[in-house]
Structure 1
Amino acid sequence: MMNQTTTNWNENSGSQINVAYAGLELRELIAKDLGDSFHFAFNDTVEQLGEYLGNQSILTIPEIVLMEVDKEEKCFAMVETLRKNFLMNGVIIVMLSTRADKRLVQTAIKLKLHDFYTYPFATSDLRERLNFLVRFKLIKPKLLEIGKEVDTTYKMPAGKRFLDLFISITMLICLSPIMLIVALAIKLDSKGPIFYKSKRVGTGYKVFDFYKFRSMRTDADQLLAKLSETNNQYAAEETGVAKSAFVKIKNDPRITKLGNFLRNSSLDELPQLFNILRGDMSVVGNRPLPVYEAEMLTSNEWSMRFLGPAGLTGLWQISKRGKEDMSERERKKLDNFYAQKYSFWLDLKIIFGTIPAMLQKEKV
């Protein structure tokens, strides 16, 4: 039995990342496939991991804690213990499981783990994910700080900003009577505020307040965690993926009767004209995502979507919106394509294609 054994440093691979590992079932696989990429301290059990971490100083704390889900599920209690230790702030925590159990995934989500993998999975994917988490999560643990670091990579072209101001001001003037009627209808239809405000992540991981007309019950956010597991349109497409990055609820029970009409007619989106006016987003771009979705898209392959403008409408809306057969990968590819290829003429094409796409029939 091995206790706290350490792999050799591989200077050729540039391994500088320390990983504290707990578990026996997948240890051999991890040591074989990732031993050259990371510096491991192996522990047989969660308890031994706790002892190992307790003996570390601020200079020797590992960048990553990688735990297998044990039979007694003590690993989750260990996460809570680590979170209470101020020395462990910023440490990346990832879990591995040999059991395909949705309950384990839900617990991991509630604890806000950096990731959760169910075996079998590709160790190359795990390697890439850990490297990326170190670069983005460890260096800038909070999404707000990530935004400060990378939001300078995109600068709104003057012509695009002029088009945004012209369209948003014109629409606000022309549609103000309709917006007033919608506001009164929401007030009479159900209890709660007229507007719904949430934190969204746009260009360069910049977080801002995102506005919509309220179309849901006031307890909608509390119900999201459960519904994202049972009713999500974007089911995880590959074995070993803990959770789909995007969340789109089928036949969402949280939506009010009036909310159904507002969503199907896209009237609920009108307050975003104020976001465009403020410069939070553009008329055309990739949809700004809720924080919990954006945190799932920090891999090399998909972070590109945040290097382009955030927008009210985009390629997704005019090509696949509301269609049951749309996969998560298709949506990501559309977002990446726009971030790389957007132009004035592509924006005009998307704007003209948005009107017929606004009236969707599917309840997704």
Structure 2
Amino acid sequence: MTTSAIDKPQINAKIVYFGKLLRSIIAEEFNAHIEYLDDSKSFKSYFDNQSLLSIPDIILIEVDDNKDCFDQVRYIKENPFFQGLIIVLLGVKEDKSWRKKALELKVNDYYTYPFPLEDFCERLNFLVKFKLIKPKLMELAQQTDVVYQIPLSKRIFDLVASGSALLLLSPLFVIVAILIKLESKGKVIYKSKRVGAGYKIFDFYKFRSMRSDADKMLQSMADLNQYANDDTSKNGKTAFVKFKNDPRITKLGAFLRKTSIDELPQLINVFIGDMSLVGNRPLPLYEAEQLTTNEWSTRFLGPAGLTGLWQISKRGQKEMSERERKELDNYYADNYSILLDLKIILKTIPALIQKEKV
């Protein structure tokens, strides 16, 4: 039975598709504007004739039976005109060498069929949305970078304290890394993009405490977000995401979180200057994008931190509303000082053992 256009997953983007093996599946299953290219000659001709207004949002390139696949990716990557183009590779045969090449070329994603078509659609829509959000955040970073500058005394304290801690805790780092590897497959360090002081985007480090497919489970768990029903959320959307009894957390991960050991790799962020020991928690891109109004953007005019007022004030408890978190962040940005930092650090130690699994 043919799926109606209304029931098909909607991809809100202009897409170009190169290849024939999966073409019929993509054409039948998705409701999207797709232009198809058949051979290498038509591929080059198509991109050579693009103008600034006609560039597509996404290029889907089949890997199987396409000896020019990676040359095509390089052609796009090396042309400044196509820097915003989202590149996703599709395959029928799983090949580690192809995946390795794709990783080296930094394509946006790589799928091997069969894959969940709804997840694929959701991923493409996310990539398009992220493409729109990132320039806004970068523009905000340029506007506020001249406003925020970490005090020299605070930076010196961060360097000495984080450097000493990394040296002393290095044996613990090794032990935790081994335990994580023994419990489950995946990387030891979880790296995500976060927004810190002045809307600066940086790589944020933590010991992995979740399953390797945790990000894919996020949408299906939206109703578990403790901030979802907060009075300050609009149309069901909230700036913060936090789950109670998160099912994605591994057994070792639960211990690492309860003791806050999972946060220790952020000492590297402090040492290299992405964060300070004390400040407002750096936010994921999708959260920071919702805090760009005059009322709440103040939090980004103070340092991003490993610990802060939120951590020592009813840390992670459900009764702390989203508005309270925002107000604490704004207060710290307006009032931070060495004395306040020392008070927060002293109060952080007893706050490390959390009562709730959040």
Show the counterpart of 1:175: 169
Where do 1:188-227 residues align within 5 Å? 188-227=182-221
Residues of 2 paired with 1:350 and 1:344: CA distance?
A: 10
Aligned to 2:218, the other structure's residue is in SS state helix
Matched, 1:232 2:218: no
Cα distance 1:80–1:171, how it changes in 2: closer, same or farther (>3 A)? same
Shift of 1:238: 4.3
Contact 2:256 2:262 in 1 (8 A): yes
* Matches of 1:303 and 1:270, distance apart in 2: 27
Flag the 1:259–1:239 CA change in 2: closer, same or farther, 3 A.
closer
* Residue 244, structure 1, aligned to residue 235, structure 2: no
The correspondence of residues 97-112 of structure 1 with structure 2, limited to 5 A, is 111=125
Amino acid at match of 1:234: Y
1:162 aligned partner, one-letter code:
I
Q: Distance in 1 between matches of 2:125 and 2:338?
A: 43
Which residue of structure 2 aligns with residue 42 of structure 1? none
Answer whether contact 2:232 2:322 (CA < 8 A) is retained: no
Tell me the secondary structure at the aligned position of residue 249 of structure 1: coil
The gaps in structure 2 that reach 5 residues or longer are 16-31, 34-50, 56-120
- How far residue 149 of structure 1 moved from its aligned partner, in angstroms, is 2.9
Q: Which residue pairs with 2:320 in the alignment?
A: 326
Residue 343 (1) aligns with residue 337 (2): yes
Deviation at 1:187, TM superposition (A): 1.0
Distance 2:354 2:290 in 1: 27
| Structure 2 partner of 1:15 | none
- From 129, 136, 154, the counterpart of 1:142: 136
Gaps of 5+ in 1: 1-71, 90-106, 116-136
The alpha carbon displacement at 1:114 in A equals 12
Q: Cα gap change, 1:314/1:73 in structure 2, threshold over 3 Å: closer, same or farther? A: farther
Residue correspondences, number: 252
CA RMSD of aligned residues (A): 3.0
Alpha-carbon contact 2:227-2:238 (below 8 Å) kept: yes
Task: Give, in whole Å, the separation in 2 of the partners of 1:313 and 1:239.
Answer: 25
Partner of 1:312 in structure 2?
Answer: 306
1:152 and 2:146 equivalent?
Answer: yes
What TM-score, normalized to structure 1?
Answer: 0.63
Q: Distance in 1 between matches of 2:232 and 2:172?
A: 44
**TM-score normalised according to structure 2 size:** 0.64
Match of 2:86 in 1: none
Deviation at 1:301, TM superposition (A): 0.9
Q: Percent identity?
A: 60
